[in-house]
Structure 1
Amino acid sequence: MKITDKIKKANLIGRGGAGFPTAIKWESVYKAKGVDKCVIINAAEGEPGVKKDGYILANYSAEVLHGVSLAMKYLGAKKCYLYINPAYYQKYRLKILQAVKASGLAKRFEFFVKPHDSGYIGGEETAILNAISGLKIEPRLKPPYPTESGLWEAPTLIDNVETFYNVALVDKGKFKPERFYTINGPVKKPGVYLYPDNWTIEEVLTESGNYPLFPFFVQAGGDACGEVLNQKQLDRAAAGAASITVYDLKKQSPAKLLRYWIDFFAKNSCGQCTTCREGTYRLKELLEQKPMDWKVFSDLVDNLSETSFCALGSSLPVPVRSYFKNVLDNNFKKI
């Protein structure tokens, strides 16, 4: 049975956050015109609060490289790159090299350390292509997609560390519908846990011994882009990269949290589109004004959602809107 048939049977989806069916992506690269196809392992993990890829590299590098070797064999790819954030490179380089050597990929494998100044956007798939190619690190217009025209215009497969890990399990007949969860905040045992992928946030917190005994709310899917939920909304699965960050409802300052999100997006904007570049800067200004013009603030948030060039700018409204709605009850006076 072909590896893509096994992946389809397992209903495997990508674990980078978008949840795209893995087999469809692999088949797209396979069917694309071009002989110099390549594979990129995305280990940028720039979303605050998400630590699963680092955990996998530390403990399951061999499985990750096995999944990569399967992809390269299926695609006939001649080269693979591990696009990795600097901290993980320092911590896990030797362990990864051991796994590379054992996989037989040594002559076709290359590290590419994510530039320190590339920011959060440096982990976006087309920005990764630009980084490796020596171009300005900013998102490309899509289409064409990397599966059609990626690194040096060659069809390119870009998958997350956890995705390749899961492919290895699928190949060995050991795959279970599970995923890695990162739990953060003022809890008893923060860390990375492996549980069924359909578990609710409440189940993950309870089983891990991290369900708070104080009034709280959570941000699920990343500390920058994740949705904010109150205690009555935990009967759903963690979205995106499956991180769950707990906040103490009584101790968390709304103004500080809003400022954190806006500062993060302002700092990490690549500057390519006016909406994101100027919009986040203006939101920072508004947040410091007394009294604040909430109508203008809301309009700017809507504009980011509707007109940003890439997912960075359009993601800021997710935590902001959900926090106002689910925690603050749309009461701007609580800021």
Structure 2
Amino acid sequence: MSSILKKLKHSDLCGRGGACFPTALKWEMVKKAPGKVKYVVCNASEGEPGVQKDKYILENYADQVIEGMKIAIKFLDAKEGFIYLNPGYYQCLHSHLEDIIADLPIKVIAKAEEAGYIGGEETAVLNALEKRRIEPRLKPPFPTTNGLWGAPTLINNVETFYDIALIESGEYKEERFYTISGDCLWDGVYRLPESYTIRRILEETDNYPDFLFCVQVGGAASGEMLNISQLNQEVAGSGAIVIYSLKRHHPIGLMRRWVDFFVRESCGQCTPCREGIFRLYQILYSQEVDWVTMALILENLAQASFCGLGCGAAVPFSSLIYNILPFSPEWQKKIGLDNFKKICQSFKI
């Protein structure tokens, strides 16, 4: 076993892009996959609202990210590496990155403007690099065996490659980057121990509110909504925390904001997501919300969507209904007692 693989296994590092897949296992799978040609891809798409850590890392620690990619290329004896940036990041970062990767087998690629949110899904990234229609691929086969141009491909997030460089140099301290936004005093990106709970992160950054609030963890689109009794857990996924004042926000308004985003960003490939999101839009903008139908749509969306992003689209709606509404008299008043009773019946709360 190689030195870096031993270090990755010992670190228990999991991917920082949201899926939390064990990094050592992914590297080992690509290494063992048959094929003379292999590729390495750094996914810097970062299309989830409320997540800014990858941009922050590339602005401040690009050398370490590139070093992590170099380690991966050497370990896999890969032909080439690619840094896949969203259009906004490409405009402000590509010159700096090009200077660092000079004389290296690494290319900086801009995500197409029309790629949108779905363009960050790992197999959609592969399609984009191959200049094909930007939509998720059927899995299996997985990119570890059939990735870029059919070759085994390692796809890791920006922060993952950053951590890999620290692991190799012995500087890794089991810390990670968190993006804090919303109704807070000090929004921004923070680097803190990954063992910290949501509550402690907010306290350490002086962002714990003195008003009634809830949080959305994982991003402002697909993240899970949590009430204040659920803050004693670690932050999974992309490390984002969005704070919402219960007084300032209306639950229907939040759900409309989410459905607006997903209507705009759905790739339209699968029926559960395409039609389900559209029906949610119609329901939430109708004069009277059909909670029974909404419950059925969310269940179907979560269980039958083609990709993880489609399945994840149900998370904010369902978690708001199950985790926040039953424990928030403030929001129960805003939607009305009759509506709240209908929600409880429809969602079996």
Give the TM-score normalised by the residue count of structure 1. 0.96
Q: CA deviation at 1:82?
A: 0.6
* Counterpart contact for 2:41–2:156, Cα < 8 Å: yes
Q: Which residue of 1 aligns with 2:272?
A: 275
Structure 1 stretch displaced more, 288-297 or 323-332: 323-332
Q: Which residue of 2 aligns with 1:262?
A: 259
Q: Which residue of 2 aligns with 1:175?
A: 172
* Cα-to-partner distance string for 1:286-326 (whole Å, 9 max, x where unaligned): 11222221101111111101111111221122111110112
- For 1:299 and 1:282, locate their aligned partners in 2 and report how far apart those are by CA, in whole Å: 11
- For 2:325 and 2:11, locate their aligned partners in 1 and report how far apart those are by CA, in whole Å: 41
Structure 1 stretch displaced more, 143-152 or 304-313: 304-313
- For 2:198 and 2:46, locate their aligned partners in 1 and report how far apart those are by CA, in whole Å: 21
Q: CA deviation at 1:94?
A: 2.3
* Counterpart contact for 1:265–1:312, Cα < 8 Å: no
* Counterpart contact for 1:42–1:159, Cα < 8 Å: yes
Amino acid at match of 1:262: V
Q: CA deviation at 1:122?
A: 0.3
Q: List aligned pairs for 1:22-61, cutoff 5 A.
A: 22-61=23-62
Secondary structure (helix, strand or coil) at the match of 1:329 reads helix
- For 1:214 and 1:234, locate their aligned partners in 2 and report how far apart those are by CA, in whole Å: 15
- For 1:99 and 1:216, locate their aligned partners in 2 and report how far apart those are by CA, in whole Å: 43
Q: Which residue of 2 aligns with 1:301?
A: 298
In structure 2, runs of 5+ residues without a counterpart are 344-349
* Counterpart contact for 2:216–2:242, Cα < 8 Å: yes
- For 2:203 and 2:97, locate their aligned partners in 1 and report how far apart those are by CA, in whole Å: 33
* Cα-to-partner distance string for 1:161-219 (whole Å, 9 max, x where unaligned): 00000000001000011100000012111000001101100100000111111111100
Amino acid at match of 2:130: S
Secondary structure (helix, strand or coil) at the match of 1:247 reads strand
Q: List aligned pairs for 1:41-190, cutoff 5 A.
A: 41-101=42-102, 104-105=103-104, 108-190=105-187
Q: Which residue of 2 aligns with 1:241?
A: 238
- Which of 291, 310, 313 pairs up with 1:313? 310
* Counterpart contact for 2:223–2:316, Cα < 8 Å: yes
- For 2:174 and 2:235, locate their aligned partners in 1 and report how far apart those are by CA, in whole Å: 14
Q: Which residue of 1 aligns with 2:11?
A: 10
- For 1:292 and 1:229, locate their aligned partners in 2 and report how far apart those are by CA, in whole Å: 23
Q: CA deviation at 1:9?
A: 1.2
* Counterpart contact for 1:217–1:229, Cα < 8 Å: yes
* Counterpart contact for 1:62–1:100, Cα < 8 Å: no
Q: Which residue of 1 aligns with 2:196?
A: 199
- For 1:226 and 1:260, locate their aligned partners in 2 and report how far apart those are by CA, in whole Å: 13
Secondary structure (helix, strand or coil) at the match of 1:47 reads coil
- For 2:270 and 2:11, locate their aligned partners in 1 and report how far apart those are by CA, in whole Å: 39
Amino acid at match of 2:57: I
Q: CA deviation at 1:95?
A: 2.0
Secondary structure (helix, strand or coil) at the match of 1:147 reads coil
Secondary structure (helix, strand or coil) at the match of 1:16 reads coil
- For 1:92 and 1:223, locate their aligned partners in 2 and report how far apart those are by CA, in whole Å: 24
Secondary structure (helix, strand or coil) at the match of 2:156 reads strand
**RMSD value over aligned CA atoms?**
1.3
* Cα-to-partner distance string for 1:244-275 (whole Å, 9 max, x where unaligned): 00011111011110011111112111111111
Runs of 4+ residues deviating >6 angstroms: none
